Amino acid sequence: MSVTYQIEPGGVLKGRIRVPGDKSLSHRAIMLGSIAQGVTRITGFLEGEDAIATLNAFRALGVSIEGPTRGNVTVHGVGLRGLKAPGRALDCGNAGTAMRLLAGLLAGQSFDCELTGDESLRQRPMERVAEPLNRMGARIETGKGGRPPLKIHGARKLAGIRYDMPVASAQVKSALLLAGLYAEGRTCVTEPAPTRDHTERMLQAFGCAVEKNGNTVCVRGGAKLTATAIEVPADISSAAFLMAGASIAPGSDITLEHVGINPTRTGAIEILRLMGADLQVLNERAAGGEPVADIRVRGSTLRGVEVPRELAALAIDEFPALFIVAANAKGTTVVTGAEELRVKESDRIQVMADGLQALGLQAAPTRDGMRITGGPYRGGVVDSHGDHRVAMAFAMAALRASAAVTVSDCANVATSFPGFVELARSAGLKISLV
C-alpha cells in the first residue's frame, strides 16, 4: 500500500504523550520467552509490524503465544531445545533485528530453516552475521551478495568462540550470544564501541549468567532460561522524533512518558543537550530490568556541534531525527563514526542528505556521517525510500519549513510506530495522509 504524508508548515508540539513500546525489547521478549521454561507475561509489547513478524515466526516454530491484546502477550515457553521445524520459510517482513537474531538462535537447532523478508530486508547485508556464526560451526548460506534469504542447516555442533567485531552492531552481537546458548563452552564478543545491551540484560532477567568485562560480553552454552514477567517501556527511538520536533519549534513543551533510558540508548539525549536543547529527564525509575523516565522537551535555540564519535553507536537509530535538529541549529553539525547508518532500512546517510538538499539545505554526506549547515528551508517533496525513521524525521522538519512538506513511501512507519499520524497530530503536528 502506498502511503504519503502531507505536513503543513509551522506549529508547536505540546502535551503529555506515551509513544509505543520499545521495538528492540519487544523482539527479544518474544524470543527469550519462547526458549525459556514456563510462562512469560509481557506488557507494553509493541504491536508494530516488525515485532508481530517475530511473534508469528515463533508461532510457526511451535510456540503457543496469546495476544497481543493492548500490549499484553503471554508466551508458553518450550525450553532451549523445544522449538520445532516450521515447515515453511519464516517471513521476517521488514525486521532486520528479527532476521539477524533468529539466525543466531536457529543456528543451534536440529532442523533446517529459511529466513526471508520483504523487498527492503532482502537488500540488507547478512554475511556480517553469517560469517561469525559459521565460524562457530553453523552452516548458513546467504543469497546473492551476502543478502537474504538465509538458509540455516540444523543438526550442527556449535563451539563457542571469541569474536572481535569489526563494526559495532548490537544485532550481530546478540545473534552470537543467542547461538552461544547452544554452543559448547564460552562464546565471547568484543565490541569496538558500546552498543545497546538489551540482550544481555534480558538474558539475565531470564536467569542466564552473563559475564561482562569492559567491551567484552560472554555466555556459556547450555544455560537454562526461566520464564519471567517483562515490562516493555516506551521506545526512545520513537520518542526521539517528538523530542526533535519540540526542540526545533519555539513555544513547544512536550513530556514523553515512561521512556526507556538504557544507558546504551541515550546518545540522542546527550547530543541534543550538546546542541542546546531544553531537555529534562524526570521521575527516573526501573521497569522490567530497564531504567525508564519521563522526558520533557521545550523549544530552544540550537547550535551546531561536532558530535563526539563515541556517541554515534549510542544514537544510531535516532540520527534521522537528529539530522533534522542539525538543520535547525545555528552553524554546522558534523557527524562521524556512524557508518552503520548505510546498512539500515535504507542508506540513511544518503537518503537523509538527499531529503535535506531537496528542502534547500546544505547537507554533505560522508563515508561515515554527514556535515549539515543549519538555516531556513523551504517545503518540498521528500522520498523516504520506505524507511520508517526517514519518513518520521521529515514529518517533523515541516514544523520549521516555509511551505508544506510531502513525504512519500511512508507505509513502513507501521513497523515501529503504529498510530504515528494520529499521535503526532494530537501533539500539534499538522499532518495528514494523502
Active site residues: 317
**Residue whose entry in the numeric block shows the C-alpha cell 503471554:** 74
The Cβ-side half-sphere exposure at 191, using a 13 Å CA radius, reads 25
In this structure, which amino acid lies at residue 366?
T
**How many whole angstroms separate alpha carbon 209 and alpha carbon 426?**
44
Residue 415 has phi, psi (to 5 degrees) of -70, -30
User: What's the rounded Cα separation, in Å, for the pair 412 and 387?
Assistant: 6
- Report the candidate in 407, 394, 412 with the shortest Cα–Cα distance to residue 433: 407
Distances (CA, A) of 200 to 33, 281, 303: 14, 24, 36
Amino acid at 75: V
- Which residue matches cell numbers 539545505? 361
Main-chain dihedrals φ then ψ at residue 222, nearest 5 degrees: 85, 5
Q: Which sign, positive or negative, has the C-alpha torsion 388, 390, 393, 398? A: negative
Residues 6+ apart with CB under 8 A from 308: none
- Cα 210 from Cα 186, distance rounded (Å): 10
Handedness of CA 88, 92, 98, 100 (dihedral sign): positive
Q: Which residue is listed with cell 525486521?
A: 95
DSSP string, 336-363: -S-GGGGGSSS-HHHHHHHHHHHTT-EE
Contact 140, 158 (CB under 8 A): no
Burial classification of residue 199, based on how many CB atoms lie within 10 Å of its CB (0-12 exposed, 13-18 middle, 19 or more buried): buried
